[in-house]
Chain A
Amino acid sequence: MKHSFEDHTSTIQATQEIPATPAAPRRMTLNMGPQHPSTHGVLRIVLELEGETIISAAPDIGFLHTGIEKEFEQKNWQQAVTLTDRVDYLANLSNNLVYALAVEKLLQIEIPARAQWTRVMMTEFSRLNSHLVWLGTHALDIGAMTMFFYCFREREDILRIFEMFSGQRMMTSYIRIGGLALEPPRGWQQAVGKFIKAFPSKVDEYEELLNANPIWTRRTKGVGFISLEDMLDLGVTGPMLRGAGLNWDIRKSEPYSSYDKFDFKVPVETSNDVWSRYRVRIQEMRESAKIITQALEGMPEGAWQADAPHVVLPEREKMKTQMEALIYHFKIVTEGFRVPAGEAYQCIEAPRGEIGYYVVSDGTSKPYRVHMRTPSFGNLQGLPKMLEGILIADSIAALGSMDFVLGDTDR
């Protein structure tokens, strides 16, 4: 077969004059996006190609900019919680939490243990939700379609739990300044317990599907390298760094919302490629499940809102019998509570990395300035460095491994 093919080409060469190929391959500029299924949102990347090798990549962002930071200045402090939901559609609760923590720092109010533990449990569900969507869509990009259905099957259960707690599947606004939006519903232990008991075996399923899959391993191992020094210098955070051997997790290094009372490990991998990021996220899912189990078993009793009548709405019953409660209710509903002048920065470990909210108050009932340091914005800066010199076919696997959300980038 091979022999006859060579014969055939030699006859062509003999009869036709083939133009001489240029010494260097021709450079080509390729526009990827903004409507491209593998960019997971509205991201445009201008790729400079030499043959199939990427020489340079220039991300163009801003297509989903909605002016959320400007909007913050128009709402009162508690109303603005709803804006934090809309930053990152996969980590709404993480954004709720970091905003609430920052404002509570300014207000200097103590959050009861039950509310803190519920917050931890819900943000860990949020991490599971985000990692599941990442795993499903990333595997889909690389060609493993079944993963998508498996991951979305579990994600649906998580969204049902969110709905049970907050009444919303995605825009939860469940973590409010001063505690939670609603008391955890009756029967939540059964719903969470049922899910968390089954979940580890589901992760086993994912690993069985992918770990020994030759297509998956060849498309992930050794692909998407970027050195740790470059990542730190370019502002990359989260599982990307832990996939490069850096043991840094804000839940451990700067514990917030009683994370120090939970027993969990920080998974670290060293191969610094798409594969290691996949391993980190899979293990993080197992650790999150452990945290949720601990929260389920050790959930403290007591109040789910802070004892701060100037911030938290009074109970309905008290309003009918106590004059102070009625006055506070009127003040909070009509004007909103005031936050003492000052500034605070609070960061948490979100599924994608460090979310940091810088909150400035001028003493009124509206935020003076809220800046969101979002992980996707920082991570995307590392993209050109990561794509340089790799094949265009690998760029899909490489940029998918960053796990950015464009709403989170553009705000």
Chain B
Amino acid sequence: MSQPVNHPAVLETKQAFGETTLIADPARIVDLCRHLKDSEKYIRLSGITAVDLHPAEPRFEVIYHLHSIEKNQRLRLKCLLSGATSPDIPEIDSVTGVWRSANWYEREVFDMFGIGFRNHPNLVRILMPIDWEGHPLRKDYPVHGYKYSYPSE
């Protein structure tokens, strides 16, 4: 169980199953991450992922899993992003400046969910082909993709 984090970007703190989740302000995510890394010793970023809550609004949750080896603690950050930005994609600041490992994690989220990361050094698809259309892990993306259709559907 983690200590409470006092930072203006933290909107809410939740505890469940011994895990701590901070709901964070997407506009100040980089500030918060830098604070957590420098002052709270969360030197590892275990991963970044997203959840699509389609058709609810705000539609996307961007999830950061942080880990402090020294304190032996884990922390989850969650930012809510609106999906009603079409045709533009929803955007959040990149944390590659805080942890370099965010580079590929953010590229994966961009590839799978179509969430943009501002100031990312190389925001291109990582798992799907470069010219792929759509973002497969979005809930409105069909399992078979757009390219194939079957008579029964």
Which residues of A pack against B, CB within 8 Å?
Answer: 61-62, 65, 67, 69-71, 74, 105-106, 232-235, 246, 248, 253-254, 342-345, 347, 354, 356, 358, 360, 368-369, 371, 373, 377-378, 380-381, 410-411
Tell me the smallest distance from the CB of B43 to a CB of chain A, in Å. Answer: 6
Tell me the smallest distance from the CB of A123 to a CB of chain B, in Å. Answer: 20
Residues in B whose Cβ lies below 8 Å from that of A253: 69, 72
Tell me the smallest distance from the CB of A4 to a CB of chain B, in Å. Answer: 55
Tell me the smallest distance from the CB of B125 to a CB of chain A, in Å. Answer: 8
Cβ-neighbour of A106 out of B17, B43, B45, B141 (below 8 A): B17
Q: Which of B3-11, B25-33, B83-91, B96-104 is the contact stretch?
A: B96-104
Q: Roughly how many angstroms separate A347 CA and B66 CA in the complex, as a whole number?
A: 12
Asked if B99 and A233 make an inter-chain contact with CB atoms under 8 angstroms apart, the answer reads yes
Asked if B46 and A373 make an inter-chain contact with CB atoms under 8 angstroms apart, the answer reads yes
Q: Roughly how many angstroms separate A344 CA and B63 CA in the complex, as a whole number?
A: 12
Q: Roughly how many angstroms separate A347 CA and B75 CA in the complex, as a whole number?
A: 13
Q: Roughly how many angstroms separate A356 CA and B100 CA in the complex, as a whole number?
A: 19
Asked if B101 and A235 make an inter-chain contact with CB atoms under 8 angstroms apart, the answer reads yes
Tell me the smallest distance from the CB of A390 to a CB of chain B, in Å. Answer: 20
Residues in A whose Cβ lies below 8 Å from that of B112: 69
Cβ-neighbour of B69 out of A71, A246, A342, A411 (below 8 A): A246
Asked if A368 and B74 make an inter-chain contact with CB atoms under 8 angstroms apart, the answer reads no
Chain B residue with the shortest CB-CB distance to A252: B72
Q: Roughly how many angstroms separate A296 CA and B112 CA in the complex, as a whole number?
A: 44
B112-139 contacts to A (CB < 8 Å): 112, 125-129, 136-137
Tell me the smallest distance from the CB of B77 to a CB of chain A, in Å. Answer: 12
Asked if B104 and A381 make an inter-chain contact with CB atoms under 8 angstroms apart, the answer reads yes
Asked if A373 and B47 make an inter-chain contact with CB atoms under 8 angstroms apart, the answer reads yes
Residues in A whose Cβ lies below 8 Å from that of B105: 235
A-B contact pairs, 8 of them (CB 8 A): A62-B126, A233-B99, A234-B101, A235-B44, A235-B46, A254-B72, A378-B47, A380-B104
Residues in B whose Cβ lies below 8 Å from that of A344: 16-17, 19
Chain B residue with the shortest CB-CB distance to A371: B49
**Residue B51 at the A interface, CB < 8 A?**
yes
Cβ-neighbour of B103 out of A347, A381, A410 (below 8 A): A381
Residues in B whose Cβ lies below 8 Å from that of A62: 125-129
Asked if A345 and B136 make an inter-chain contact with CB atoms under 8 angstroms apart, the answer reads no
Residues in B whose Cβ lies below 8 Å from that of A378: 47, 101
Cβ-neighbour of A377 out of B76, B104, B125 (below 8 A): B104
Tell me the smallest distance from the CB of B123 to a CB of chain A, in Å. Answer: 15
User: Which applies to chain A's interface (DSSP): helix, strand, loop or mixed?
Assistant: mixed
Residues in A whose Cβ lies below 8 Å from that of B69: 232, 246, 248, 253
Chain B residue with the shortest CB-CB distance to A246: B69
Cβ-neighbour of A342 out of B16, B46, B63, B104 (below 8 A): B16
Residues in B whose Cβ lies below 8 Å from that of A246: 69
Asked if A360 and B103 make an inter-chain contact with CB atoms under 8 angstroms apart, the answer reads no
Cβ-neighbour of B127 out of A61, A233, A380 (below 8 A): A61
Asked if A358 and B63 make an inter-chain contact with CB atoms under 8 angstroms apart, the answer reads yes
Residues in B whose Cβ lies below 8 Å from that of A358: 47, 49, 63, 65
Chain A residue with the shortest CB-CB distance to B122: A58
Most buried by B among A233, A248, A347, A373: A233
Tell me the smallest distance from the CB of B9 to a CB of chain A, in Å. Answer: 20
Q: Roughly how many angstroms separate A253 CA and B45 CA in the complex, as a whole number?
A: 17
Asked if A235 and B45 make an inter-chain contact with CB atoms under 8 angstroms apart, the answer reads yes
Cβ-neighbour of B128 out of A65, A347, A369, A380 (below 8 A): A65
Q: Roughly how many angstroms separate A411 CA and B129 CA in the complex, as a whole number?
A: 14
Asked if B127 and A65 make an inter-chain contact with CB atoms under 8 angstroms apart, the answer reads yes
Tell me the smallest distance from the CB of B117 to a CB of chain A, in Å. Answer: 16
Tell me the smallest distance from the CB of A118 to a CB of chain B, in Å. Answer: 24
8 A-B pairs with least C-beta separation: A235-B101, A373-B47, A371-B49, A62-B127, A65-B127, A369-B51, A233-B100, A234-B101
Residues in A whose Cβ lies below 8 Å from that of B17: 105-106, 342, 344
Q: Beyond the given A233-B43, A343-B21, A371-B49, please list 17 additional residue pairs across the A-B interface where CB-CB is below 8 A.
A: A62-B126, A69-B137, A106-B17, A234-B101, A235-B47, A344-B19, A345-B74, A345-B76, A347-B74, A356-B47, A358-B47, A358-B49, A360-B51, A368-B51, A373-B47, A381-B103, A410-B127
Q: Roughly how many angstroms separate A277 CA and B47 CA in the complex, as a whole number?
A: 24
Asked if A356 and B65 make an inter-chain contact with CB atoms under 8 angstroms apart, the answer reads yes
Q: Roughly how many angstroms separate A257 CA and B112 CA in the complex, as a whole number?
A: 32
Asked if A371 and B47 make an inter-chain contact with CB atoms under 8 angstroms apart, the answer reads yes
Residues in A whose Cβ lies below 8 Å from that of B44: 232, 235
Chain B residue with the shortest CB-CB distance to A247: B69
Tell me the smallest distance from the CB of A245 to a CB of chain B, in Å. Answer: 13
Q: Roughly how many angstroms separate A234 CA and B45 CA in the complex, as a whole number?
A: 8
0/1 string, B14-26, CB within 8 A of A gives 1: 0011010100000
Tell me the smallest distance from the CB of A410 to a CB of chain B, in Å. Answer: 6
Chain B residue with the shortest CB-CB distance to A64: B127
Tell me the smallest distance from the CB of B85 to a CB of chain A, in Å. Answer: 21
Q: Roughly how many angstroms separate A356 CA and B63 CA in the complex, as a whole number?
A: 13
0/1 string, B30-71, CB within 8 A of A gives 1: 000000000000011111010110000000000101000100
Residues in A whose Cβ lies below 8 Å from that of B136: 67, 70
